[in-house]
Every structure is written in C-alpha cells, then in structure tokens.
Structure 1
Amino acid sequence: MGKKLLVIISLLLFIQSAIISVAADDQPCRDEINEIINEVALQKNIPPVLLRAIAWKESGKRQFHNGQPFVHAGNQGVMQINRVHNSSLDKEALLNDARYNVEVGADVLLNRWLFDDIATVGERDPDVLENWYFALWGYNGWLPRNNPVDQNGDTYQDGIFDLIRERYDVPVSDIDWSQIPAGERTPRGFGIPNPDRVSDGHLLFYQPGDLVEAVPEDLWLLEAPGADHTGWAPEGSRLRVISHEKLEAGLYWYRLESVDNGSQGWARSIDLLPVKAAILAEIDVFSRLEETEQQVITLSMPEEAVSSMPEEAASPSSFMDLKDHPSQEAVERLSEAGIISGTQSGRYEPDRPMTREELAVVFEKAFDLDNQKEEEAHLPKDWEKVSEWAQEPMETVIAHRIMTEYGDGTVRPKKHATREQVLVMVTKALELELEATTSEDPNFADADSVSEWAVPAVNKLVEKEIIPASEKLNLFPDRAVTRGELAILLDGVIDKEYQ
C-alpha cells in the first residue's frame, strides 16, 4: 500500500512539473513584455518609458516566476495590480494575461493623471516626463510615505525617475518638491513649475491627413474639447485627422472628420488608434517607395560607407522591433553602413516620428556633409534646445543650407519633421536643379495640400522616380515622417544607386 501511494504521489508530482514546464514555455519573455508595454502606452497616451520603469520597479517585468503567476503581497503580475484598484477586474486575466495586466496598470496611472484637482507640474503636458510626478505618486498610493518633503525625496515617484535616468539613460529632471506642503497625503489644488530642462515622453502624435479609428463603442465628436457633442462615430469606424493636436485638461485632442458620413468634431487621443497599415498602404505614397525604379544620381558618399552596405539585409533583424516591418531591410542596410542607429534598449522604433535634430544627424552621415562644410553656420535663436549629441550635425546641415530656420529664426530641434520638409532636404542634399516647370501642382490626390515652397522639390523627386505619383495616391505632406519611412526613402536614394 505504501509503495502504491508513493507511486501515485510521484506521478502527480511529475504531472504537476510537466504542467509548470508547459506554462513556462508559454510565458512572455522580457522583450515581448516590452513590446506589450510600448503598444499599450502609446494607445493610452502615456510615455512608454514611464510604464517600462513602473513594470521594472514593480515586478522586474515579470508576469510569471518559476512557472507560476508572479504574486507579491497580494499584488499580481507585471504591474503588481490588486483588486483594491477595482473589484470588477478579471482575477484570472490579471494572473495569466500580461497584456491585460499592463492595460489595467496603464488605466490606473491614467486615472491618477486625470484625478480631480490633483496637483500639477508645468502645463500638465503628458508628453513631458516630469509632469507625471504626482500621477506616479498616486500609482503607488495617496500615502504620506510618498510625500517627498516628509521622506526627504526617498519616495516611489522619485525612485521611478531614478530608474528612468539610470536604466533607460533618459535625463529626466527632479522637480522642486520643496513647494509641497509637509504631511500632505493627496496633493491637491496647487502647481509646481517645470524644471529648467524637461524630457520628451515620445507620445504618438497624429498629423492632418492621418487616418484613425474609433476605440469606444460610441465615440462622441465634440464641438470643442470638453463641449457638447456634434456627432458620433461607432467603434472601429474610420476618421481623418483635420487639425494638429490641442492640449486640454491633461490630454491631447484632435479635430476629426468621419470618412463614412462627413461629420466633424473633437475627440481625445486616448479614444483613437492608428488605422491598420494595410488600409493606409492603399492610398499612401510613402508605402509605395520600395516599388519605384530610381535613376542613378551621383552622391558624395564615402567609399567605406558604400562598400559596407551588404547586398542583402541581415537576417534576423538586429533590432527586436523590426521583424516583418516594411522598413526592416532598409533599416538593416543603413545600420550596417553606420548611417542610422537604434535605441540603447536594442529597438529601432520604426513607427516613431523623426525629430528635426535626429534628421540632421542622419543627413550628415548619409551625405558625408562633415567633410564638405565650407562655412560656419549661423546658430538659430533656440540653439540651447538642441541636444548636445545633435549640435555638430545640426550646425553642419544648416551651414549647407539643407535645413533652414523658421521665419522666427528658430530651428525647433524637438519638432517632428514633416514629409515635405524631408523631401525638400533630399533635393538640397542631392544638389538637384529645380527648373521652373517643377512648380506645377504635383500629381497626387492631395496635391492642393502641398506647401508652395515644397512643390518644386516634390515634382523633381517624382521626375527622378524617387517617389511615385498617382491621382489615387496621397502624399500627406504635413504628416510627420517616421523613422521607418525615412530609412526606406534614404535606402532608395543611396543603396539602389550604388549596388
């Protein structure tokens, strides 16, 4: 009897071990957790690095530990959620579904960000990391233990800022918490100015012409942010962005037009998602760049850069977020040539808009501008806003007249570069002659939206077959160019001409 019982117990232990082993195989790895966090953060209008830092501090970015759901002191999963946050939460999903867990954590943080009469930092701009200080306080609890005056700065939210600086190499600044009343449990009704330098949150911004889809079951379109509704759009319906972003009460808003019925109104960015790439590709010029047969153009490319470009892109991708992305091969070729680079976390972020200072760095390398510099650049009025790593390339492209200042004498280095700005820069870098005939309207469905100063450059690139043109295609000239789109464009201009 004893031997039989021992056999049964051994069999049960074996089965349990096998189940745990299978569960472990299904567990998301840290790279997959990062991907989930980035997707959720951008949809919720939360800086991705904030959610990554919270996930690291809470759980080491673990949904499971030793084959079992990761639970500590009653808190569960990646974001260490407990049902105190909301008793209606799905307990099983919190334990076993990493995406659900991250989504709930993001909602908790967003709830604290929008908390009624909560204290603020700066303009309450969600794209500024420092402005999230009090929301981070609330994520860990409206408790005296998180009052930096009482704790001499040793608080949860200050720890998150430390993590962002140390682990993610983002120079987030400390806020002046000396202005917070001692003993304050829930900081309300006061504001603290921004520190002298602030850090970009890298939110997802839409541009006029972008197609988005409605997330809520009924998306009400408002006459103005926070005003009465003038129309609505059902879940999943497509809308076109017809304005730039507007910051109101801690959220970005956009004016939209329904593709189905033409109704217009304002909606919050957290209620929108980018339209699926397959749909957008049908009408977008930049989705057809790889299809163009381009003419040979002489570039001043250094021989070592040309010779280092492989005939075929490396496989698999050296960037964890590029697998099966349309820009994968272009990014890999340009990365091998030392023209572009990714983030310190091993990502390229192909769908993130390119800033003007990032663009300057890429153009300097792609067109070997450093050795051609003939004169000292006139520095723009906002030169102090240019990141240190971008100052030399920015000075070079300005000296070559490839990038020009705005009418007010600023260069706006952190502003997203638009497609038409990039196309003009390409013609300047290639030193293409723009004849008078190139001032005619381009052959695009949205030709009337191309700025007058960009028309000759756009037409010249169409003539050279660097970009395709058709009455059925839209250029979306005012849309921010993404890092992936820029890679495809430059790969077409450079790589195809030298292989």
Structure 2
Amino acid sequence: MGKRLYVILIALLSFSFIFESFSISVDAAETKTSAMNNPNKQTINKMLTEIALEYNVPPEIVKAIAEVESSWQQFKSAGEPLISDDGGIGIMQVTNQSGYDPERLKFDIEYNIRAGVDILRKNFNRRDLPAINEKNRNVLEHWYFAIMAYNGTKPVNSPVVQSTGKPNPEAYQEKVYDIIKDFSLTNVTRLKFSREDFQYNPDSDENIKFITKQFYFEGPFTKTKYSFHQGQKAETTADVYLRESPTTDSKGTTLKTGEVITITGPFQYEENVNKQNHFVWYPVQTETGKKGYIASSYLKYRFNDVPVGNYAEEAISYLYDCGLLNGIGDDQFGFGRKLTRYEAVLLLTRANHIDLSNRPDPGFVDINQSYPYYREIAAAVDEGYFKGLPGNIFDPNGTFTRGMMAEVLQRIYQFPELSGSFPFTDVPSGSWYADSIGRLYGAGITTGISPTKFGPENSLTREDFAVFLVRTINWKNAN
C-alpha cells in the first residue's frame, strides 16, 4: 500500500506541476497579448518626446515622422505588429536596417522608437548629405536632408520637380514638415532649392546625386519648442489661450500676440490621454501676474534683459531666429553693453556665411591661434571686412565705434554713392569714415544720433548694431 500511495502522490504532484506550468504559460501569453496593444496617445507622446530629447533630436521631427509612417501605431487592431508591404516595422516603420533586432522592432515599441531616432541622428551626422547653414541640431529646418534620408534619397523625394524646377510638395520631407505644421501647430520656413542643386533620373530608382553640398539660407528659422526652462522669458507668437489646465479641454483667457510671459516650470503633457496633440504645455505667468498653461507651439524665445517695447527688440529677435546671435549667456542679450570688435566680427562672418577654413594668419601681435575667435578674425581680415589698428594689433575687446561700423558695412555691402549731402556736422569732409557714413545715410541704414550729429567716435551698443545689421540685410534683399 505504501508503495502504491507513493506512486499516486508522485503522479498527483506531477499533474499539479504540469497544471501550474500551464497556468504560468497562459499568464505569460495573456501578458504578451495585452502588451501588443497600442498605448494611449499621452503615453506615446511622452515616449516620443523623451527618447528624442535623449538623442538630441527635436521632438517635433520625431513625432511628425511617426505620424507619417504609422499614425503613432505599433500594432494593428488585431494586436499584430504593424508591418508594411515594403517591410517597414512598427511605429517608426524601420525598414531593412542592419544592427537592429527585427523581433524587438515588432513587439517592443520603445525599442522601435529608439531605432528610428537613432537612424535620424545618424542621418544628421552623415557627410554625404548636404548641410543647411551651420547644421544647428535645435533648428527644425536644418534637419531637412536627414529627414529625406529617413525615407530614402530617391528621385521621388527630390526637393524640386526636375521638369519644372518647382518645389515638390510630395517629397517625404515636405510631408513631414506639413505634419509639424498641422499637429505641432508650428510653421517652418520652406527652403527654396533649384534643380541645378540635384542630379537624378526621374524614371530611375537610383539615388539622387547632390551637386550642392552646402546650402545657406537667411531664415528666420524655427527652433525646437522643447528647450524652455523655468525663469526664462518668452513671448506669444499668436493670439492664444492661457489655459487653466494643460489640455485643450480646459477654459482659458486670450493673450495677444507678442505678450511676454515667464516660464514657471517644466513642460507637461496633454491631460486628455486620448488626444493626439504633438505639442506639450508650459506653465507660465504673465507680466500682470496671470498664471496658466500655454501650448509650446505658440511660444518664442526672448532674451530676459531686452525691455518690452524697445526699438531694437524686433531686430534682436530676427537675428536670433536667423541664428546670427546667441546672446552672452544665462538668457541675456547684453542689452546696453558696448559692442566689441570681436563681437562685430562674429555677427558679420555669420551673416555673410564666411568659410573659416584655410585662412592666412593675419599676423596681429595681440592674438594668436589659441584665441577663441582667431578663425573668425582671420577670415574677416582675409575677406577685407576688417583691418588692424596702429601697432599691428586687432584689439578684439576694444569698442566698435559708429565710424568703424559705417566703414565695415560699406566694405562688405557696397552701398551706392550718396547723391547730395548729409546733415552731420560732426563728420569732417575727407575723414576716413565720411564717404561710408554718407553712403549708409543715403541707403537709409542710419539717420544719426540727432538730426545733425552722427557720433562717429561714439561707442556702438549691441542693440544699436542689431538694428543697423537688420536694416542692412533688408537693403541687400531689396537690391
């Protein structure tokens, strides 16, 4: 009996073990099936945003690509991985890419997003793709060719139609920028290319040959809306609601275009978990003390030290948006500070897209190749923009006077000769800056510090030069 009971007990235990094992496998299968459902829109928004920021890619671009590729879907309604006819997998539709696990791409949405963002990051660093200006990672327009390459540098994605030379709105990257406009509510500057920039056979599937490797556009450009931080000032770019909560479902009061606000904390995600808004919300406070939330789409960077309503604020904002000035740090423009000679060099070499490489040593005794802005100064001197001062010095920290400003701008932009005379009694005829001042006056760049005084020896402030530079750029574009 004892032996039979032992056998029975062993059998029962074995059956119990098999039953428990089956139960575990069922639970695992149920968990896997549950995981094969698409997360809510708030969760996807958060994943796309945080992974993009981790890889130093603008979230607007990552979200728009995910929208174009899959409408933010990792799985089909039946719980199966979303796989396109050409083999694209999941939310980012990663296709035929070595180095990524196909099974994880199918079932792990975070892994899929990381793979897509990693591909974008690699595209941005590719040397075989054209560059836009200085390739600022925070500027949405500068990712143009990295976005194109995500889908493929094929004739179908050419920025221009070869037969007409007109823009190609059906190009993949153009569709991505359309999504940024529609879902992030953020306009980008559409870049104008010519058919001479590219070579391809529209009837072939061979890659486009890029004739132009470096493009320069004046802007203004659109910087990512995810870099605002607590204590920083910004301004509204349109009439916008100041919401009570971080959702379009909440009530709000209207703020006018250009209203200055202060960011009071980190951004937050849309409260309604089912809304597919691509933007985020910033908690803010107005100058009058009102508090609430504003969609990131409607905020624009502003230097904290530029007075509201100042005559130079539009010029400063324009130059910042064009990527020509970055301030002096800590969200400060340096308002009221005297412009130095090296700062004038930086602004003018950027504004004119001067190549800094392979420039001869200017030979100044007060700077050498270890000086932080040596390359810019060497290039500016080599271009004939700047000259040294007595004693064979450049004096980079010296004040840039109004007379120097007139002479340098004339060297660069070649304003026409003044017809008639100017009213400035403090500009002696025959002085080294007289002709340049006359030409700037005739072109409408400056009207002097008074109706009869130009102030050629007066120091030039950073905001004054911003105004003069913008007027010069506008004159150049008009002529």
Structure 2 length normalisation: TM-score? 0.43
Higher helix residue share: 1
Larger radius of gyration: 2
Q: Which has the higher contact order (CA 8 A, sep 6+)?
A: 1
Structure 1 length normalisation: TM-score? 0.42
